[in-house]
Amino acid sequence: MRLIWLGFIGCFLQACASGASAPDKGEIQFSGFVPETLVTNKPVYSYEIEPTPVTSTDPNTKVSTNTETYDLNRATPDSQGVSYNNLYSLGYWTPSPHLKFWGKTITSSSCHGNSCQPAKIAMPIEEVMAAWRQGWTGRGVNVMIEDNIENDHGVVTGLLAYRYAPGANYYGVQVIPRLNSTQVFDNQLGQFHSSYAGNVKLGVVNASYTAQMNSLIGREQSSQNPWTSDELIKARTDFTWEATITVNRFKDSGVIGSLAQFKYTDAVITKAAGNDQISSEYEPVNWFMAKDSLVNPRLLLVGALDRTGSVADPAEIASYSNTAGNDTDISSRFLLASGNIPFGYRSVAIDGKVTNAFQGTSFAAPRVAGYVAILRSKFPNLNASQSASIMLDTAGYETLRCNTQPGGCDPKIYGKGEANLARALAPVGRLR
């Protein structure tokens, strides 16, 4: 097995849900479980691919969004989509044999002797299930999960993206904590290889990490003593070298070893905005990505909601989440998704170790990564910039509580609003 030098990441990067009681991973713990859907909301049990609804006689058409005009050409639907839908026929999924990600086994936390029950994974939202029934599953799209692959944080971020886009191909790269060498994992079974058959063109990269602000600034933030703008700007400046290397990787620059076989330059980058309750422009990785002209058009900065929103039950931006901020290079790339995970508090074990349930922008970002993989599997002719444009142009405020309040939703807080897969998949005619 050939390992890769990637020593620039470590002390300065952390899993994105910072401010937690678990300093080695940084997730925010919570005592309650907010399921994405109720068990009583069962999916349609399907046997054949459903036709994709269209509002035009020709689904392959030239489309104008708020930012771009381009041609859409639909791919061939994935015949396995109905099978993915039917896994949740009970309203949840209990994978058997036990689900694996990056070589880690995910089971229920209830074990009797040497026998563990399968984990119970909550059902995705209906717009995801509907996409599967129409054959849009992420098939053919290569997804890279950059994370601490070897602990539960990386397992959960990988699982979240896979749960939304089960037809995609998944790779993982170990970037946290700092290691003298880095392992690249291939697919959800956790196999890894010293080499690949050829260059792997990535369609989506999920980066659920941020700069470690406490270390950069030298103190914890509190409501009585928040970080000042001077401290935040200095921290951003001090992080320049590490951030530059990270940004260069997304441009296929300075990458060596096995990772060099992955091509990043046409990948949409879903980046967790951070959980420090600050404006996103102060998080150094966000800043340097958004300010790079070759990365910005492909970038989606993802903040967290307290749950998936709907018109009937609107969501709010999570109390821990960074906000869109004042810098338009950043706020124009900012959207929102649920920051919860699809299983209950201490109900799941990873390699036999019971894991807490977490919240964080770390877990909002891979949801959007799954959306992008589904979008790119339906319209494979789109490039990364166009795909990101569709996600931003079809996000909205109507599922957010701020939309019902005087003054509406402030783009400096909510950016473009909540990501909406159904609208992203149905851009026939002019969007919005």
What CATH number does the domain containing 164 carry? 3.40.50
Closest CA to 39 of 316, 360, 344: 344
* Residue ranges making up the domain that contains 31: 13-49+60-424
Does residue 387 sit within a domain? yes
The reported pLDDT for the residue numbered 23 is 28
Closest CA to 300 of 388, 390, 395, 425: 388
* The two structure tokens encoding residue 405: 């309040």
Does residue 118 sit within a domain? yes
* The two structure tokens encoding residue 112: 């009797």
Cα(141)–Cα(77) distance, integer angstroms = 13
Cα(119)–Cα(98) distance, integer angstroms = 8
The reported pLDDT for the residue numbered 20 is 36
Does residue 286 sit within a domain? yes
Mean per-residue pLDDT of the chain: 83
Cα(20)–Cα(29) distance, integer angstroms = 7
Helix, strand, or coil (residue 390): helix
- Residue 90 is which amino acid? L
Do residues 205 and 268 make contact, with C-beta atoms less than 8 angstroms apart? Answer: yes
Does residue 432 sit within a domain? no
Does residue 8 sit within a domain? no
* The two structure tokens encoding residue 10: 């470590």
- Residue 227 is which amino acid? W
Domain count, the chain: 1
Q: What is the pTM of this model?
A: 0.88
Does residue 4 sit within a domain? no
State yes or no: pLDDT of 301 exceeds 80: yes
Most confident listed range (25-34, 48-57, 125-134, 184-193) = 125-134
pLDDT band of 268, cuts 50, 70, 90:
very high
Cα-based torsion angle of the residue sequence 389, 405, 316, 311 in order, rounded to the nearest 10 degrees: -70
**Helical spans, DSSP H, in 218-283:** 229-238, 240-249
Does residue 2 sit within a domain? no
Does residue 431 sit within a domain? no
